[in-house]
C-alpha cells in the first residue's frame, strides 16, 4: 500500500509522469488495456480478501481449480529408453551382423546413466507435457508391450539360428550342366 500511495503522490507532483501515462504510445496503451488483478495487502503482507471484488475472487477461485498436470515418473522415461533400445537392437544390430540379443546389452545405457536420463527426461517432459502426465500408465503399457514383442522376435530369431546351426540346409553337390 505504501508503494501505491507514493506512486499516486509522485503522479500528482509531477505533470510529466501524468503526460507519459496518458500519451498515445502503443506500449503504454497496451499496458492500460491488459486486464489486471490487483490484490490489496494487509500490513503483514497477506492478501486482504475483504477488499477484493467478487468477480475477481471468482476468477481466482476458478483458475485455482484448473488441473495441474501430474509430473511424469522417471521410470516412464526409463521404460521409453528401454523400448527404443529394444527397437534399435531388433532393427539396427542385424545390419551389422550382430544378433539382436547380443546387441541389446551394448545398446542399453548403464544403470547410473539410465537413472539420470530418467530424472532429466522426467523434468523436461513434465515441463512441456500438458496432459501427458495423465497418460503415464498408457505409455508404460505401450513400452512394455513393444519391448516384450521385440524380445519375443529376438528369441525366435535366436532359436532359428540354433536350429540352422544344428541342421544346416542341404547343399546341392550335383553338377549342373
Q: Are residues 79 and 132 in the same domain?
A: yes
Q: What are the cell numbers at 50? A: 475483504
Please report whether residue 29 resides in a domain: yes
Give the pLDDT band (50/70/90) at residue 171.
low
d(CA 67, CA 131): 9
Q: Are residues 109 and 142 in the same domain?
A: yes
Contact 140, 77 (CB under 8 A): no
Q: What are the cell numbers at 143? A: 513400452
Please report whether residue 125 resides in a domain: yes
Tens of pLDDT, residues 147-160: 888 888 878 888 88
Residue 138's domain comprises 74-166
Tens of pLDDT, residues 40-97: 888 888 878 788 778 877 777 777 665 666 778 888 889 888 888 888 888 888 888 8
Give the residue, 174 or 143, on which the prediction is more confident. 143
Handedness of CA 102, 106, 111, 117 (dihedral sign): negative
For the chain, how many structural domains are there in total?
Answer: 2
Q: Are residues 84 and 54 in the same domain?
A: no
Q: Are residues 107 and 155 in the same domain?
A: yes
Select from 92, 119, 120 the least CA-distant residue to 107.
92
Amino acid at each position: 500500500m505504501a508503494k501505491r500511495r507514493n506512486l499516486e503522490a509522485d503522479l500528482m507532483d509531477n505533470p510529466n509522469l501524468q503526460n507519459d501515462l496518458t500519451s498515445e504510445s502503443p506500449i503504454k496503451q497496451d499496458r492500460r488495456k491488459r486486464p489486471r488483478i490487483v490484490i490489496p495487502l494487509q500490513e503483514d503482507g497477506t492478501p486482504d480478501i475483504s477488499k477484493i471484488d467478487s468477480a475477481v475472487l471468482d476468477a481466482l477461485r476458478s483458475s485455482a481449480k484448473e488441473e495441474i498436470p501430474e509430473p511424469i515418473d522417471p521410470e516412464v522415461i526409463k521404460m521409453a529408453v528401454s523400448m527404443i533400445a529394444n527397437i534399435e537392437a531388433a532393427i539396427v544390430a542385424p545390419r551389422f551382423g550382430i544378433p539382436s540379443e547380443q546387441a541389446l546389452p551394448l545398446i542399453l545405457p548403464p544403470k547410473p546413466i539410465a537413472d539420470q536420463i530418467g530424472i532429466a527426461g522426467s523434468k523436461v517432459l513434465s515441463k512441456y507435457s500438458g496432459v501427458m502426465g495423465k497418460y503415464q500408465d498408457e505409455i508404460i503399457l505401450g513400452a512394455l508391450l513393444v519391448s516384450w514383442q521385440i524380445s519375443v522376435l529376438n528369441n525366435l530369431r535366436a532359436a532359428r539360428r540354433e536350429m540352422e546351426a544344428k541342421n544346416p540346409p542341404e547343399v546341392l553337390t550335383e553338377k549342373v550342366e
